[in-house]
Chain A
């Protein structure tokens, strides 16, 4: 009695899974077809042809139709033209988004206001597109500005809604670049009681600087993405082992601990750095903003370095059991200082150490290269300190 029901259950399960895989395949094929049709529609020869056709059509329509084929072909083009038109518009928009990175669009606030006026409902939308390391674009960031009519002033802009993560403090930037005289108190976001009590302390009305505001927001977003990409790049070059993936993970259990990577796609996936020649067991950003990166070596040394907005290793501290490892710090901040070449500097340093050790073993009295290395690092340190 129980076995047939089990069998049918198994059967239905296998059928279900089969159906779902077929559905998924269908979906991907549909997706591909749509991508291909749309790329075809936006392709330059077709667009040019359409343009020339519509021109020739308008020319050919003024005289009487002479050939029998003309109406049929024109019929075809009018059928196609709305599609062609929208895809051409979309392609234009995409070109703008790629080229200028920050684009504006109108948006109407759907919520009804008690005082019906079109000016109050329309918002200025701003879109920031940022290209990631692999050439794809991240989800666009949006800022929606509203034109305020508060305190008797017209045309004062303020941020109504935005999708910028708190890594970039839009509120603070707004206070700097889009100051509102009197509007602050009415909006009441940051209007403290002190400002009301001491009106003479209020700074004189500054002009709003929308361009500066946007430039700064975009700059900070781009810098944040560059830092994140840099840390991800370093981790990838060292090699990442994800928990639950691959059988050899259990083999080198002693090499490092499973850690959560803050910048990973799935935040709860635990991973660790694969065994490498540099003896690094952990490398990862300390927080989502990816300003500080923590490094851990197999011999127990722990380091932390700061990534500057320009993508340089700005400061580095390495602590070992016997105190600070200044030489390693100098290696990290030295050279061209780029985050991307950090591993190469470490490798070079390791090979130098090995070379000097070999030289010492060969009973050379003083290793020249080593001395120069230390000297260089000291000068670097001196340069960086102020």
Chain B
């Protein structure tokens, strides 16, 4: 690369957003190829906006040609001649916008044409976040809770929600991490969900631009960590391995080993987050919440700013306020369907209407469900699975009960534990469906099968979830 002559020294600065990855890197094509054509074009227009264009300067013929004349000669051979002005670049992509075609030509135009001098780390981060916006279930998220360390000053009412000022938070996070790893930070707002997403890309080298550090390692997705901060609630989600497995891995490793593997880099970042959020006299720590899910919507419903954090399963009727309407409603509440209660507050009728009518049609079509079973279903699952869907993709349950025939519960070594793992696109919805079909007895099944606990990992004793501490 062109900057190899510069003096290199290990620093604690973060990786610059302008650090360019050579466009010839093959993995860039793969990274860009994840996006749709329209998403790519949207991103390019965003880069070329007036306020942004100095951060993502495209390769232009006029200024580059005067500096390096010998490179200008090669331009004729390139498939995409460099434009002279930024407006020219914009027009080229506008043309692509109106023309139909594959996304490959857009990627080629970006990598070999207008950004032939390299893709910056920031551009790469934007590509990744755009992919996440388009595919909200592409990652596996672990929900963690922020808790105050000192309980003495709990009389302050809104103490548990730390206020985050983005740049202050980032600089203190950088202070925490920088002695250990070098990282690139990108903070962005999700377009579809009430989330602020932090993308941290970690490298092991302390050098700003190490030649040995190949361009491939800068696009290595396993070195990328996402942290999502939902609005106004004491939780955050990380895209890392669950804390249980991470702590196991760390205890297995002796401390003398240099922490260079990806997992320990991720652990460093995770441990730094509560410290970065802490203020003087207001220190936070992270508590696991035994919830791991792919869908960000599910995380927002179960550990989010809304009403449904502590009311799921049978109690979702309360979270959705499907039990009764406002006190000004003259209709007796048992004559009003839960959908209507919900809609009335949402105040948008048409879309919900259609969905509701479709659902009622589908319900009436099924002949197998008896009235009794439907009632049992409604009482056990509430509105979960119909009004609000919280798609958990995995549910791990450990049953701690002694077997019914076991007369000696004192022999703990002999006692078998049964572990169940449910996996699928929507586990709780699936269980509801099974109960609808009569495979599962809705009245007798334990409450964790209805998703009432709102967790994805739990231990069960006597039909009720117990905490992970093993008591």
Question: Which residues of A are at the interface with B, using a C-beta cutoff of 8 A?
Answer: 20, 23-24, 27-28, 31, 34-35, 38-39, 41-42, 86-87, 89-91, 93-94, 97-98, 109-115, 129, 136-142, 144, 159, 161-170, 172, 175-176, 185-186, 188-189, 220, 260, 262, 265, 267-268, 286-289, 291-292, 309
Contact = CB atoms under 8 A, between A and B. Distances in A.
A166 B154 contact: no
Contact of B467 (A109, A139, A188, A309): A188
B191 A268 contact: yes
Given A141-B307, A220-B157, 5 more contacts: A91-B330, A93-B327, A113-B462, A166-B160, A166-B232
A289 B232 CA distance: 7
Contact of A136 (B305, B328, B452): B328
Contacts of B4: none
A287 B328 contact: no
B309 interface: yes
A38 B234 contact: no
B308 A137 contact: no
Contacts of B331: 34-35, 38, 90
B332 A169 contact: no
Main secondary structure of the interface of B (DSSP, over half): loop
B350 to A, nearest CB: 6
A287 B163 contact: yes
Given A141-B307, A169-B158, A111 B463 contact: yes
Given A111-B452, A139-B321, A286-B163, A166 B305 contact: yes
Contacts of B467: 188-189
Contact of A24 (B163, B324, B350): B350
A172 B192 CA distance: 32
A112 B446 contact: yes
B44 to A, nearest CB: 20
A28 to B, nearest CB: 7
B330 A39 contact: yes
Contacts of A24: 349-350, 353
A222 to B, nearest CB: 12
Main secondary structure of the interface of A (DSSP, over half): mixed
B75 interface: no
Interface string B356-388: 010000000000000000000001100000000
Given A38-B330, A172-B154, A163 B357 contact: no
A163 B160 contact: no
Contact of A163 (B232, B311, B332, B340): B311
Contacts of B151: 175
Interface in B304-356: 305-311, 313-315, 318-319, 321, 324, 326-335, 340, 345, 347, 349-350, 353-354
Nearest to B450: A111
A292 B443 CA distance: 47
Contacts of A20: 350, 354
B161 interface: yes
B242 to A, nearest CB: 19
A206 to B, nearest CB: 14
A258 to B, nearest CB: 12
Given A163-B310, A169-B160, A291-B158, A262 B232 contact: yes
Interface in B157-173: 157-161, 163
Contacts of A286: 163
Contacts of A162: 310-311
B163 A136 contact: no
B288 to A, nearest CB: 13
Contact of A94 (B160, B329, B349): B329
A35 B330 contact: yes
Contacts of B19: none
A382 to B, nearest CB: 25
8 contacts: A20-B350, A94-B329, A110-B314, A111-B450, A161-B310, A166-B305, A185-B471, A265-B347
Contacts of A28: 349
Nearest to A85: B332
A31 B329 CA distance: 11
A23 B158 contact: no
A162 B313 CA distance: 12
Nearest to A99: B327
A113 B463 contact: yes
Contacts of A39: 330
Nearest to B470: A188
A163 B318 contact: yes
Nearest to A113: B463
B380 A111 contact: yes
A20 B353 CA distance: 10
B231 interface: yes
Contacts of A90: 330-333
Nearest to A94: B327
Closest 3 CB pairs of A and B: A288-B232, A111-B447, A139-B321
Nearest to A286: B163
A186 B469 CA distance: 11
A110 B379 contact: yes
A27 B353 contact: yes
Interface in B441-471: 443-447, 450, 452, 462-464, 466-467, 469, 471
Contacts of A139: 307, 321, 345
Nearest to B382: A110
Contacts of B321: 139-140, 163
Interface string B143-155: 0000000010011
Nearest to B234: A166
Given A111-B314, A176-B154, A163 B333 contact: no
Contacts of B350: 20, 24
A292 B163 contact: yes
A42 B232 contact: no
A20 B357 CA distance: 11
Contacts of A93: 327
A144 B444 CA distance: 22
Contact of A114 (B155, B160, B318, B462): B462
Contacts of B464: 113
A268 B192 contact: yes
B233 interface: yes
A189 B314 CA distance: 21
A137 B310 contact: no
Among A20, A41, A162, A262, max chain B CB count under 10 A is at A162
A164 B231 CA distance: 16
B233 A166 contact: yes
A385 to B, nearest CB: 20
A23 B157 contact: no
Among A41, A288, A291, max chain B CB count under 10 A is at A288
Contacts of A175: 151, 154
A157 to B, nearest CB: 16
B81 interface: no
B194 interface: yes
Interface string B257-277: 000000000000000000000
Given A34-B331, A169-B159, A111 B446 contact: yes
A373 to B, nearest CB: 33
B161 A287 contact: yes
B326 A137 contact: yes
